[in-house]
Amino acid sequence: MNIAILSRNPALYSTQSLVNAARKRNHYVRIFDHMQCDLVIEENSPCIYYHGQRVKNIQAVIPRIGDSATVYGASVIRQFELMKIFSTLKADPLLKARDKISCMQILAANGIAVPKSTISNNVMTIGQMIDEVGPMPVVIKLANGTHGLGVMLAEQKKMAESIVEAFHKTKQKVFLQQFIAEAKGADVRVFVVNNEVVGVMKRQAAEGEFRSNLHRGATSEVIQLTEAEMKVARKAARVMGLNVAGVDMLQTSRGPMVLEVNASPGLEGIETTTGHDIASKIIKYVEKNYNYI
Ligand SMILES: Nc1ncnc2c1ncn2[C@@H]1O[C@H](COP(=O)(O)OP(=O)(O)O)[C@@H](O)[C@H]1O
Ligand SMILES: [Mg+2]
């Protein structure tokens, strides 16, 4: 097959891992920087130009879209959809997953447990919405942060109020969330491909830190999930419409609580921690499904 990978940087671990896995299985691979794709939209022969050349003979695309390129990246993916080319990530699920507020709402609508979250767009009612998720401390999140950046813990109510007000002032979408102290700075990353759990790791935040992102210095280890936990992770990916997903959840006495579903989850942490060749799982998923769009 001819497979295209959308990636801004061919040197990234995730991109390299996918390229190697595809080549090992005798596919021809091209890497396109999505920000350099020009789109021609029309009903009969929509197409993409890359560095001035019309893109031809691609059977499947594997997008790796970073958070700085979400909107244009989604347009490029939608263009591949318009051209009837199979994509492991569709435009709509990408946009939904990149907005943590939509993600929380979709999960909750499908009966998946999430930490109680509140939003207020009104200076007068922020205090009330803090009380809803309290007692203090409470978590404050930017709707579109990643790698733990944009996730804060406010110890006092006054502090939480001023942080939310400051973000409103800069027109940033922000929401409040109940702090799940019993997670003790750990979370679980579940990698799901085509409704199957292909890798699980527990991440423990660095000393003095509650965010367990590897980018924030967390350590990771392999753990075994219960059937019930795996079911929740698979369901979270499914209801978000993601066939390749990184589901982040907290383990609590009430069962797993899903924090977010990542649409372009990194491969480095999960492959090196688990020793699983997850890139090959993605390529095999493409091989089985590229004809059915
Ligand atoms: N409500 C919460 N209670 C406890 N810890 C949390 C909560 N929300 C986030 N965290 C911690 O912060 C990390 C980052 O939060 P997350 O919502 O996954 O945002 P990001 O997209 O930045 O990874 C999580 O992996 C978890 O360790
Ligand atoms: Mg996360």
Per-residue confidence at 291, pLDDT binned at 50, 70, 90?
confident
DSSP per position, 228-258: HHHHHHHHHHHHTT-SEEEEEEEEETTEEEE
Beta carbon of 249 within 6 Å of any ligand 1 atom: no
Beta carbon of 146 within 6 Å of any ligand 1 atom: yes
CATH topology of domain 2-87: Rossmann fold (3.40.50)
Beta carbon of 148 within 6 Å of any ligand 1 atom: yes
In the chain, the percentage of residues whose pLDDT exceeds 90 is 97
- Domain 182-284's class? alpha beta
The mean pLDDT value of the chain amounts to 97
Atom 22 of ligand 1, residue of closest alpha carbon: 148
**What mean pLDDT do residues 198-212 have?**
96
Instruction: Write down the architecture of domain 117-179 according to CATH.
Output: 2-Layer Sandwich (3.30)
User: How confident is the model over 261-284, as pLDDT tens digits?
Assistant: 999 999 999 999 999 999 999 999
Look at residue 34 and tell me whether its pLDDT is greater than 80.
yes
Look at residue 210 and tell me whether its pLDDT is greater than 90.
yes
Residue whose C-alpha is closest to residue 187's, from 205, 203, 176? 203
**What mean pLDDT do residues 172-196 have?**
97
What is this structure's pTM? 0.97
In the chain, the percentage of residues whose pLDDT exceeds 70 is 99
Per-residue confidence at 9, pLDDT binned at 50, 70, 90?
very high
Query: How many A from CA of 151 to the centre of ligand 2?
Result: 9
User: How confident is the model over 91-102, as pLDDT tens digits?
Assistant: 999 999 999 999
User: Which residues are found with C-beta within 5 Å of the ion, ligand 2?
Assistant: 248
**What mean pLDDT do residues 154-167 have?**
96
Where exactly are the structural domains of the chain? 2-87, 117-179, 182-284
Per-residue confidence at 293, pLDDT binned at 50, 70, 90?
low
**What mean pLDDT do residues 77-106 have?**
98
Query: Closest-lying ligand to the alpha carbon of 146?
Result: 1
What 82-87 contacts at long range (C-beta under 8 Å, 24+ apart), as own/partner pairs, is 82/41, 82/46, 83/46, 83/47, 83/48, 84/293, 85/58, 85/59, 85/60, 85/61, 85/293, 86/59, 86/60, 86/61, 86/286, 86/289, 86/290, 86/291, 86/292, 86/293, 87/60, 87/61, 87/62, 87/63
Beta carbon of 139 within 6 Å of any ligand 1 atom: yes
Beta carbon of 233 within 6 Å of any ligand 1 atom: no
CA distance 254 to 257: 8
**What mean pLDDT do residues 31-45 have?**
97
